[in-house]
Chain A
Amino acid sequence: DTAVSQTPKYLVTQMGNDKSIKCEQNLGHDTMYWYKQDSKKFLKIMFSYNNKELIINETVPNRFSPKSPDKAHLNLHINSLELGDSAVYFCASSQDVASYEQYFGPGTRLTVT
């Protein structure tokens, strides 16, 4: 059973479109995260939710809007996609904030043309 799953795995779309990436974890964790990995493989945190509440919101354009309908899900919606949004987006979860091990999803490779 997959602990942290993301859909879709690949996403190719044109500039200006709106798209969503979904994430689900079946580990019973309280905290979920979205990370962006750029072309140089550098991973940077974007958002973190704890018990459906936003606790970290890094300097990310407001075109990115996370939504957590429940503790097990954290979706990422992106409006008006730009070329620079092309990257791999990883979802992760941990039992609680900061002190616990992170578990990562397989990633979603977003390509904006």
Chain B
Amino acid sequence: KQEVTQIPAALSVPEGENLVLNCSFTDSAIYNLQWFRQDPGKGLTSLLLIQSSQREQTSGRLNASLDKSSGRSTLYIAASQPGDSATYLCAVSSTGNQFYFGTGTSLTVIP
């Protein structure tokens, strides 16, 4: 069964700093990997979707990479802003049409 782990569980950085969030998964047979953002008391907002055949995706200040062979993905956030403060979740879809979520990284960007 697929297991998804996110490290660190919490991260606090000063505004303007570049940062990396990590996601690892145990079964490399995936269809895609998706990064989400969740604000307190809110639903999930999709940030980036990487298909299994892709190595990375970029959207604005966000860049997500995927290394299937090592079971890892990273989300890079450039020039962080206080508005980036949220919980970031990665989710992996694998065989059997299952989606597995990581435990999330709670990010705080200090003004």
Contacts and interface: CB of A to CB of B under 8 A. Distances in A.
B95 to A, nearest CB: 8
A45 interface: yes
B98 interface: yes
Interface residues of B, number: 25
Contact of A33 (B42, B45, B99): B99
B25 interface: no
Interface in A68-113: 90, 92, 97-107
A48 interface: yes
A102 B31 contact: no
Nearest to B44: A104
Given A41-B103, A45-B99, A101-B34, A106 B93 contact: no
Q: Which of the four size classes fits the interface of chain A?
A: 20 to 34
B97 A48 contact: yes
Most chain B CB atoms below 10 A, which of A35, A44, A90, A102: A102
A99 B34 CA distance: 11
Do most interface residues of chain B lie in helix, strand or loop, or is the interface mixed?
A: strand
Do most interface residues of chain A lie in helix, strand or loop, or is the interface mixed?
A: strand
Contact of B46 (A41, A43, A44, A103): A103
A48 B103 CA distance: 21
A27 interface: no
B91 A102 contact: yes
Interface of B: 31-32, 34, 36, 38, 42-46, 49, 51, 87, 89, 91, 93-94, 96-101, 103-104
